[in-house]
Structure 1
Amino acid sequence: MKRLWQNIGWLLTGRGFNAVMSLVYLALATRTLGLEGFGYFAIIVALGQAVTGLANFQTWQFVVRWGANGDGPAPATGFAIALDMLSVFVGTIAAAILVWTAPLWLPLPQDLLWLTFGYCVVSLLSIRTTPIGLLRLHFEFKKATAAEAVQPLIRAVGAVLAWQFMPTVTGFILAWAASEVCVAIALWWVAARHEKIDLSHISLRTIPRKHRDAWRFVMSTNLTGSLNIAAKQVMILLVGSLGGEELAGGFRVASQLGQALVQLAQTVSKAIYPELVHAKEEAMLMARRMANIALIGGVLAVLVAIFGGRWGLEIIAGDEFSGFYWAMVILAIAGAVELVGASLESLLVSAGKAHTAFIVRAVPTLLALVLLDTAIDWNGAKGAAFAVLGSSSLAVIGFYVAIINMQQIRITVSPDEPLPETPPETPPKAKQN
């Protein structure tokens, strides 16, 4: 628990720095581009991150899982890099198709399509979950935090340069693309200094040959990660498709401010997962403690959103975005729910139940996406926010139920006292004539 709190402390330090920098570039982007221009910006960023997230495998979990279980970092890293290369190939094809068809379903002007495709490709080439996994495998959260701080710093500097010299959607997208490239280089450099990257181990066969459940774990974690992307980036894309670029821009601002807790939940999940893998006997107790602490933090954050959210929206984004206050509050509540569920989801994945976590997350997420059109027609951005809240609540309830069932199965299969031996069956009596 001491090491866990140290790791969370480093991650929260990085998250705090990211939050401060995000206020800088969010304020510059919203005030410079306005509601419509920021809507285009939000759609392009969401499309790039959605393509990358859907194509990307959660390779950091593979490095931690198999690197810590006797295989060593080299084979696990080689497998992860091979999956990253596959992600870039598949993602580029998907990006080309989505951008080519974008005018049919997204409110994007023709002159921004090539910019959108370029941002998608840069995001794919900047996939960095493998070096993050190497650093977390050795509990080097301090180094990972320092390297990841490059991204918000470059974004903030780039936003200032765009505001000064290129105050357009293109200028801010270039700043975001530069930050993706720089943080990927920083993480690979730090990871390579700590652990030698042996390219001869790049293979899609070595790990699956040793572990029969490897591909099932890969697909389960990939689909779970894809659902997390769908819950955020695809949601923004659909809001833009159904409600227009202005609604997408406002929803993006409300989501970034209100769902800061979701990022905090991801931070807790990233810190606790390696600990749960290494400390299997105390995993349940550790997850329970983190959930209780998260509940307190979530309640406090929701109160801050209720009493200070409107002022924050007006100060950061301007009066034009103040109408999205209630959407931000609802999304803050959804973030608090996700914060409580972060340790529960990590517990399921660390126990080899990634497929269960995926199913529990998939059903409410797909339900929210299906009902999104109705929700927007009912109450605009607030309706979309309620769809997110409902999805998060059902998922966390599902995680809790799955863990309870998992405990009952363990008690049934492994009782405290040995089961009495079953007496041999008595042969049936011969039939009498």
Structure 2
Amino acid sequence: MPITSQAAVRSPVARIFLNVGQLVTGKAAAGLLSLVYLVIVTRVLGAQGYGVLVLVNAYALLLGSTLAFSGFHGVVRYGAIAIERGDKASLARIIRFMAVVELGCGAFAVAVAAIMAPIVGPRLGWSEQTIRFALPYSLAVLATVRATPQGILQLAGRFDLIAVHQTVSPIARMVGVAIAWAMSGGLIAYLGVWLFSALAEGLAMWLLSWQSWTRLVEGERVFGSWRGATRENAGLARFILTTNFDITLRELAPQLVPLTVGWMMGPAAAGLFALAQRATNVLQQPAVLLASGSYSVLADLAARGGGRPLRLAVWRSVGLSGLGSLIVLAALTVVGGKLLVWIGGSTFTGGTGLMLLIAVGRALVLTTTPLGAGLTAMGQPGKSVAAALVSNIVLYPLLPVLLLWLDVNGAGWHAIAQNMAAAIMLTFFFARVRDRRA
């Protein structure tokens, strides 16, 4: 059901959590598969080998999130306005424009990743064989080139297909890991599996969005006019540049932090940090789902005038997210002492404190995610960018200091400092900002 027709039958908060509920079904299946293949990979490779795998993947995704272009916010916000006024031709131009920009930037990011791999790899503890494989692994950047089709699916209300997409990478990894394990494969074999899953993840989103594209812009060609998109949609260019910068800043830390840990402390420490992060995905993934599930609803409310309904939807989402975070934190505190060893084996002993620190930081992200989505939907993405800039860039120099002072646990304290700063800023901004129509 398209977002414009959902509004007539459900409250905004109900629509947000219905969307999240649909996404959770896919994420739950993905989580179960991920746990199975993660146990195999970490026990086969150990902390050192798993750390190298994490660093190669983080390097590719860092270049993807930095140089590639994510424009789904523009597709959803300005697409919702075009749908509201019944202008399918304008909607088609917006989508084509974003696809051209995203695919072009993605190709550039792949090239840069391939060129830089031999320079970066030795400092991160990669072997010569790993460095050679890092060149084709640069294609994993394409896993991040899928924002435009995601925006199409959100506009069409097809969160069920977004949920299906969330199972693509875990299924590909599970099948690949089973084959690599059966053939007694080593690090390069598992890197090949990760590359295959990345390519499948990127391609699948474009394929899943095809039917929604044909329905939303019925009668419009795929390869048609796109150059007039910024001219006929006032503020589109500035909006997508700002929101892309925001997303880049938010995705920078998840890839930059493990690379920093690996650079300063070696692959084994990076492997321990990465597994602690994976163990707390029960908090991280709901934040991603909430941002995805809430933004189209809030953009729809903003297109209809915003005001009190939008604000109530955001604050109620914050309250429910905070309650869920507390429950998950309590559960992790109970089982935390054994969780990493259960998953990865004895080489991951000693990561309990780090895992709990990361969990607290991610709980803060989950609780305040609706505030960032609300600010962007109200045409104020710069506020969200400011919070991301402070937490991910201004506070980044604190990470090496904490690592030197507190060893790998310093990365956990850094996560808390980052997300506390962002939470305070987002709360302050949202409490003061006024609605602004595009």
Superposed structure 1 runs of 4+ greater than 3 Å apart: none
Structure 2 match to 1:262: 284
Mapped pair 1:324 → 2:351: yes
Which of 403, 411, 418 matches 1:384? 411
Which of 406, 417, 422 matches 2:433? 406
Matches within 5 A, 1:255-294: 255-280=277-302, 281=306, 282-294=309-321
* Structure 1 residue identity aligned to 2:113: A
Residues paired across the two proteins, number: 408
Instruction: Identify unmatched segments of 5+ residues in structure 2.
Output: 1-12, 215-219
SS of the residue corresponding to residue 301 of structure 1 reads helix
Structure 1 match to 2:5: none
Task: Say if 1:46 and 1:233, in contact at 8 Å, map to a contact too.
Answer: yes
Task: Say if 1:345 and 1:357, in contact at 8 Å, map to a contact too.
Answer: yes
Instruction: Identify unmatched segments of 5+ residues in structure 1.
Output: 411-433
Matches within 5 A, 1:91-130: 91-103=109-121, 105-124=123-142, 127-130=145-148
CA positional deviation for 1:225: 1.3
Task: Say if 1:33 and 1:167, in contact at 8 Å, map to a contact too.
Answer: no
Structure 1 match to 2:189: 171
Partners of 1:383 and 1:5 in 2: CA distance: 35
Partners of 1:384 and 1:308 in 2: CA distance: 21
Which of 64, 71, 79 matches 1:52? 64
Partners of 1:102 and 1:198 in 2: CA distance: 43
> Deviations for 1:125-161, whole angstroms, at most 9, x for unmatched residues?
7622221111111111012212331221111111111
Partners of 1:310 and 1:57 in 2: CA distance: 40
Once the two structures are overlaid, the 10-residue window that deviates more, 269-278 or 49-58, is 49-58
Structure 2 match to 1:356: 383
Q: Which of structures 1 and 2 has the larger relative contact order (alpha carbons within 8 angstroms, sep 6+)?
A: 2
CA positional deviation for 1:38: 0.8
Q: TM-score scaled by structure 2?
A: 0.89
* Structure 2 residue identity aligned to 1:260: V
Mapped pair 1:86 → 2:109: no
Mapped pair 1:252 → 2:299: no
CA positional deviation for 1:115: 1.6
CA positional deviation for 1:380: 1.5
SS of the residue corresponding to residue 349 of structure 2 reads helix
Structure 2 match to 1:199: 222
Which of 159, 165, 169 matches 1:151? 169
Task: Say if 1:135 and 1:144, in contact at 8 Å, map to a contact too.
Answer: yes
Q: CA RMSD in A?
A: 1.8
Task: Say if 1:79 and 1:201, in contact at 8 Å, map to a contact too.
Answer: no
CA positional deviation for 1:257: 1.1
Structure 2 match to 1:131: 149
Structure 2 match to 1:421: none
Task: Say if 1:11 and 1:267, in contact at 8 Å, map to a contact too.
Answer: yes
CA positional deviation for 1:89: 2.8
* Structure 2 residue identity aligned to 1:115: F
Structure 2 match to 1:24: 36
Which of 251, 265, 268 matches 1:243? 265
Task: Say if 2:387 and 2:422, in contact at 8 Å, map to a contact too.
Answer: yes
Partners of 1:104 and 1:186 in 2: CA distance: 33
Partners of 2:292 and 2:99 in 1: CA distance: 20
Which of 209, 213, 218 matches 2:231? 209
Q: TM-score scaled by structure 1?
A: 0.90
Structure 1 match to 2:178: 160
